Amino acid sequence: MGTKGLNFDQVLDDALVVMKGKKNKIPRVSLEEIVPGPITAKICEKETEDGNVSLSELLCIVSLIRHFKVNKIFEIGTFDGRTTLNMHQNSLKDPKIYTLDLPATDADKTVYELHDWEKVYTDKTAPGRKFSHLKDKGSIIQILSDSAKFERQDLNDYFDFIFVDGSHTNKYVENDTELALRLVNKEKGIIVWHDYDTEWNDVTNTMEKYYENDERFKNIKSIKETSLLFLRK
């Protein structure tokens, strides 16, 4: 049987649908469709720990940082600071990164309930340890807070790039998405979400509801071979 006219990406997508038993609603694109041409990026801390983005996802994130020449970044979900560090190292000159994480002492005092199985990621004594050597430079501002309590109206419409990777419950995905929309630059800002189409079903279901029902998300894309969602204002 000949293969003329077959689209390999479409065949692969269809096979994944059969394997998973469902079709994702958010359109999928390759990174190359967003970032055409070669990108030279610096990757720090290549080894991946539980709770980190994958190496391919990290490369994708820093490629976006490089290509769109951003330097004002807000991150929801610092964890060990691996993603923070890499965004910093690939930003334009004089980056300013705000990174927010729930302190371990507040894990039982959150506005919205956490999944029991994600509390292991809040049980850490030193969030951001991967960038501890940069703390005195002032280019990374660490915020220890529940994202549902973060108000800072002075930062509205300020950030070029926002990375959302906080709690994966429905309520927090909604909260953090609305927070990102408030903080991102309304003319050229970019928002990236982690863990779409994974075992974290609340992320997938919440973001697909946004895509189906909210005009603000009509241009959101899922980046192939990652669990990242991409939206450019």
Tens of pLDDT, residue by residue over 174-219, are 999 999 999 999 999 999 999 999 999 999 999 999 999 999 999 9
Cα 71–Cα 180–Cα 88 angle in degrees, nearest 5: 25
- Contact between 145 and 98 under an 8 Å Cβ cutoff? The reply is no
- Quick one: pLDDT band at residue 78, thresholds 50, 70, 90? very high
CA distance 74 to 95: 11
**In this predicted structure, which of 6-15, 105-114, 117-126, 150-159 has the lowest mean pLDDT?**
6-15
- Distance, in Å, from the CA atom of 112 to the CA atom of 183, rounded to the nearest integer, reads 21
Residues 216, 217, 223: CA angle, nearest 5 degrees: 150
From the CB of residue 173, how many other CB atoms can be counted at a distance below 10 Å? 25
User: How many CB atoms within 10 Å of residue 42?
Assistant: 10
Question: Around 10, how many Cα atoms within 13 Å sit in the side-chain half-sphere?
Answer: 4
The rounded percent of the chain whose pLDDT value lies above 70 is 91
Helix (H) or strand (E) holding 193: strand 190-193
Question: Could you tell me the two tokens for 117?
Answer: 């199985």
Task: Catalogue all structural domains in the chain, each as residue range(s) with its CATH number.
Answer: 8-232 (3.40.50.150)
pLDDT in tens, 89-112: 999 889 999 999 999 999 999 999
The pLDDT of 157-170, averaged and rounded, is 98
- Which pLDDT score, from 0 to 100, does residue 3 have? 44
